[in-house]
Structure 1
């Protein structure tokens, strides 16, 4: 078996042992079920399928919750092993450093993917059993796309957390940096962008390049993918006019870049790190 898969399996077992898997799954399932059962109450009668309304609600929730869960999973990927003294033991085996990074990423990716699929899938089942009118096949496909995009968002922040973990020397520092990164990318970035748009009236360079600014942030790329790309969801969220001409492939590529790019940076830093 590949050393990376062995390390991934170890991360999954640790996640089961310290209840990370159960906790993340229960949190996502509870919130997803609550939003699904509320139905269209938050937005009134919009003439849109209940599952589409749930996609909007879940995507808004995921932007805040999934990045935080992902960063908490990954912030001590390497620095935690170094503090416990097990990193030197791992490197004593015939393992390359990229295999360690890849294995830990795959393990965390599996935990997050399972939690997201089961958690959000429970909302879909609740709607399927309780809705007076069954969702259309297009709505089911959109919901499946929501789950896939949510996993992509989580993996992007797992990769960012891995960069943090290979850069700092103490777990407490890594935790603090992870919170700051979450705050900036999820909250402050959009606030700054909105303030700039208001100040310029949406005109000029910023207004013309707004989609690019949104794609530069993994949380906003996820928002564009889940709200603007799925039929009906963008109209509810008010983003349809902003990205009317933006192909859905661009947000997908942006999320993939936010996974591959930080992983490459993490491996480069870890390869040069002196223990």
Structure 2
């Protein structure tokens, strides 16, 4: 593979998102939601204003789990199948470029756009809150931003894989929405249902490992388990073993969620 070919395609995808204001819109959405949560997240308890970085990150984690996977899936579901329907895929492949180069170029360009909007959106929040944050709090916040980028890339990788397998954009969009429902809404309910029905006698020991099969859960654990004040509130201290919650290990799991779907997509696209 020629890195220059990949870089050319990635740059085109990235600047296309810049020109259609997509990056700006997503960044503003992240900034607006994050500021509202930071200052008004405790309004139900009768208090308004920034309280602590731990509470803010815990609230933002819930927002990101719903929002970023959906944005990533919508961004990437037609990456390949859209080119096929428009008739431009054959034209692209007639040029001196291989299928893996085209696939990776599109992925890296979309990933750069998503990462840029995430960093800018939450970075503006860090600037606004910087006067109220010490170095430790800033470290936790930027760790949260970095894990948000990884979460977006994982679901974007899944979206590109779906785009390769789908026969048309309609099916690809349906698969993308179904994927979002499964990982964000259904997966945890299924695990909880099994535990409740069996009274905890079946699947309890395997629960921490089953949670690793969902990138949204990996993201949640990666952020919540590093905050002592919030970990007990979420109950993760009694469910998820500390040895399995090492940040470096969870980061590797998240990277596997990025690489594995791309590998499957590349294999399928070659055929």
- TM-score by length of structure 1 reads 0.90
Question: Quick check: 156-165 or 10-19, which moved more?
Answer: 10-19
Cα offset, 1:230, TM superposition? 3.5
Is the CA contact 1:32–1:122 (under 8 Å) kept in the aligned structure 2?
no
Mapping for residues 164-203 of structure 1, pairs under 5 Å: 164-203=162-201
From 19, 31, 34, the counterpart of 2:33: 31
Cα gap change, 1:38 to 1:128, in 2 (>3 Å): farther
Mapping for residues 31-180 of structure 1, pairs under 5 Å: 31-41=33-43, 50-129=52-131, 134-180=132-178
CA distance in 1, matches of 2:44, 2:241: 25
Cα gap change, 1:210 to 1:24, in 2 (>3 Å): same
CA distance in 1, matches of 2:262, 2:239: 31
Cα offset, 1:173, TM superposition? 1.1
The corresponding residue for 2:259 is: 260
Cα gap change, 1:221 to 1:108, in 2 (>3 Å): same
Is the CA contact 1:51–1:127 (under 8 Å) kept in the aligned structure 2?
no
Q: Secondary structure at the match of 2:236?
A: coil
Q: Aligned pair 1:228/2:188, yes or no?
A: no
CA distance in 2, matches of 1:105, 1:118: 20
Question: Quick check: 220-229 or 195-204, which moved more?
Answer: 195-204
Is the CA contact 1:216–1:254 (under 8 Å) kept in the aligned structure 2?
no
Which runs of 5 or more residues in structure 2 are unaligned?
Answer: none
CA distance in 2, matches of 1:138, 1:215: 27
Cα gap change, 1:108 to 1:227, in 2 (>3 Å): same
Cα offset, 1:267, TM superposition? 0.3
CA distance in 2, matches of 1:128, 1:238: 30
Is the CA contact 1:40–1:53 (under 8 Å) kept in the aligned structure 2?
no
Aligned length: 265
From 234, 238, 261, the counterpart of 1:237: 234
CA distance in 2, matches of 1:232, 1:154: 26
Q: Secondary structure at the match of 2:32?
A: helix
Question: Quick check: 80-89 or 135-144, which moved more?
Answer: 135-144
Is the CA contact 2:208–2:241 (under 8 Å) kept in the aligned structure 1?
no
Cα gap change, 1:236 to 1:199, in 2 (>3 Å): same
CA distance in 2, matches of 1:67, 1:254: 17
CA distance in 2, matches of 1:36, 1:5: 37
The corresponding residue for 2:216 is: 219
The corresponding residue for 2:13 is: 11
Q: Secondary structure at the match of 2:239?
A: coil
Cα offset, 1:229, TM superposition? 2.7
Q: Secondary structure at the match of 2:136?
A: helix
After superposition, give the CA deviation of every residue in 1:39-64 in whole Å (9 maximum; x if it has no partner): 5445789xx96111111011111111
The corresponding residue for 2:249 is: 250
CA distance in 2, matches of 1:228, 1:71: 26
